[in-house]
Structure 1
Amino acid sequence: MAMLFPLCWVFDRTRRSALSFCNDVWATVSTALFFPIVVEGREHLPRHDEAAVYVANHASFMDIYSMFHLRRPFKFISKTSNFLIPVVGWSMFLTGHVPLKRMERRSQMETLKKCREMLADGGSVLFFPEGTRSATGKMAAFKKGAFSVAAKENVPVIPVTIVGAHEAMASGKEYELHNAGIKVIVHPRIQSTDADDLCARSEKIIKEALVNNS
């Protein structure tokens, strides 16, 4: 990835597709050693070069690994301290994922601005609208930030339901990895210039699929 980075910086600064491919391979190989991750609804995925906002429920560190199985060059938002983790954090930095200081309003606004710039330049972003991992696996109410970005840039929202990640590795119990399969369900895109409508529809779609598949 270190060798690929200069080429991506010059020719593909926003999507960094080659580096995203490294992430995808890393996630696929490492999770295959422990349990299967199945993706349903691949036909609903946008093209690799199409800007979109992906939104998913969030209950486990395994959610990111699971989303990499979609094989799309999206950038996700993560707290700044994660970028300091050896190897993993360095990979996140090289790939162009977005750091966030959660308790700082200025950092939150800068993050949303950066996401809008990525979308305007043809990149895609991934949000977990709950804001943090669920400790119980039950989905919390969605926050509107992701949908405001999608509405302002008039790009599609791709709702994604992740089933089984909490059972595989619960929040707060990362030292326990259970042999539980994970299902990633990609739903049809929705698009609107009304952020409230996008938020309500996405939350309903993801929650219903989570309940029906749990």
Structure 2
Amino acid sequence: MRKAAQVVFATLWWATFGLVSALMFVGATVCFVLTAPFDRRRVVQHLYSCFWAQIMFYLNPFWRLKIEGRGKLPWRGPAVLVANHASLGDILVLFGLYRPYKWVSKAAVFKSPFLGWNMRYNGYVPLVRGDKASIIEMSARCHAWLEMGAPILMFPEGTRSPDAEVKAFKDGAFRLAIEAGCPLYPIVHTGTADTLPKHGLLVKPVANCHVRVMDPVDPANFHGDVGAFRDHVRELIVAERARMLAQ
């Protein structure tokens, strides 16, 4: 009986998600046409996308989201944001930061209807994992956005964790912050694995999601040592996540 109820909820959720995405994409197109000529950083487009993502929380009173430390994040200026990655739900909750950053995301996602098309409107950065040319292009695009004063958000684990535990970090985000000489903000979240699990489509009806923005870390303190910088930030995120789960 419980399984059947989950299937019914998931079916309704995905149907609603599809309808919302189709309707919101119309607005995204209008937003792009009206703002792109003068909004070089696509700030308005991104804030519209934040609202789009948050609709799925607004519609479900049993999905709760608490965000702490949002005010630490800059509205303008180069910065690298990194977050742990447990679920597709991470994307929904991190849009709740309502700050004008640029996602780095799998190139395949940009081909998806509505969501992927809107990602192109926003100027988010595609990446083909393991492809050297794509990695070089991604780095160049990220540097270009940072020079324009747009922060970059990356998942340093590279892919979603199957058990919500924080996996090993890759170097990219930390090398980017060192090269750009900009602050790096660790962001920790819990509860997103209860929204959209890595494998399967059974969306859970109840979730308590919590996001905490930590104080920025200055890459200059690591004197170009990418590995030490990476490991330090991972330790901060792991320790903070443990504190949040214990609360």
149 and 8 in structure 1: CA distance in 2 versus 1, 3 angstrom threshold: farther
Equivalent in the alignment of 1:79: 106
> Residue 158 of structure 1: which of 162, 185, 200 is its match?
185
1:65 deviates by 1.0
Return the TM-score normalized by structure 1.
Answer: 0.93
Pairwise mapping of residues 7-22 of structure 1 onto structure 2 (< 5 A)? 7-13=34-40, 15-22=41-48
Structure 2 residue 84 is the aligned partner of structure 1 residue 32 = no
Give the RMSD, CA atoms, in angstroms.
1.5
Q: Could you tell me which amino acid in structure 2 is paired with residue 213 of structure 1?
A: M
CA shift, 1:20, in A, is 0.6
**2:239 partner letter:** E
Going from structure 1 to structure 2, the CA distance change for 1:152 and 1:175 (only over 3 Å counts) comes to same
Give the aligned partner of residue 70 of structure 2. 42
Deviation of residue 28 (structure 1)?
Answer: 1.9
**TM-score (norm: length of structure 2):** 0.81
Give the aligned partner of residue 206 of structure 2.
Answer: 179
Contact 2:65 2:210 in 1 (8 A): yes
Measured in 2, the distance between the counterparts of 1:21 and 1:69 equals: 9
> Deviations along 1:49-85, whole A, 9 cap, x unmatched?
1221000000101111111111111111111221121
In the alignment, which of 111, 126, 132 is matched to residue 153 of structure 2?
Answer: 126
- The residue correspondences of 1:188-207 to structure 2 (distance < 5 A) are 188-193=215-220, 194=224, 195-207=226-238
Partner amino acid for 1:29? I
Q: Alpha-carbon deviation of 1:7? A: 4.5
- Identity fraction in percent: 33
How far off its partner does 1:191 sit? 1.1
Q: Tell me how far 1:178 sits from its aligned partner.
A: 3.6
Which structure's CA Rg is the greater one?
Answer: 2
> For residues 184 and 150 of structure 1, what CA distance do their matches in structure 2 show?
22
CA contact (8 A) 2:187 2:237 kept: yes
Query: CA, structure 1 residues 178+208, in 2 after alignment: closer, same or farther (shift >3 Å)?
Result: farther
1:89-168 residue pairs with structure 2 within 5 A?
Answer: 89-168=116-195
SS in 2 for 1:122: coil
Contact residue 44 and residue 188 of structure 1 kept, 8 A: yes
Q: Distance in 2 between matches of 1:5 and 1:41?
A: 29
Structure 2 gap segments, 5+ residues each:
1-27
**Structure showing the higher helix proportion among its residues:** 2
Partner Cα separation in structure 2 for residue 21 and residue 79 of structure 1: 21
* CA displacement 1:175-196 (0-9 Å, x = unmatched): 3224111000100011123333
For structure 1, list consecutive stretches of 5 or more residues without a partner in the other structure: none
Please identify, of 25-34 and 192-201, the stretch whose mean Cα deviation from structure 2 is larger: 192-201
Structure 2 CA distance, aligned partners of 1:3 and 1:113? 29
Please, which moves more after superposition, 25-34 or 130-139?
Answer: 25-34
- Say which SS state the counterpart of residue 108 (structure 1) adopts: helix
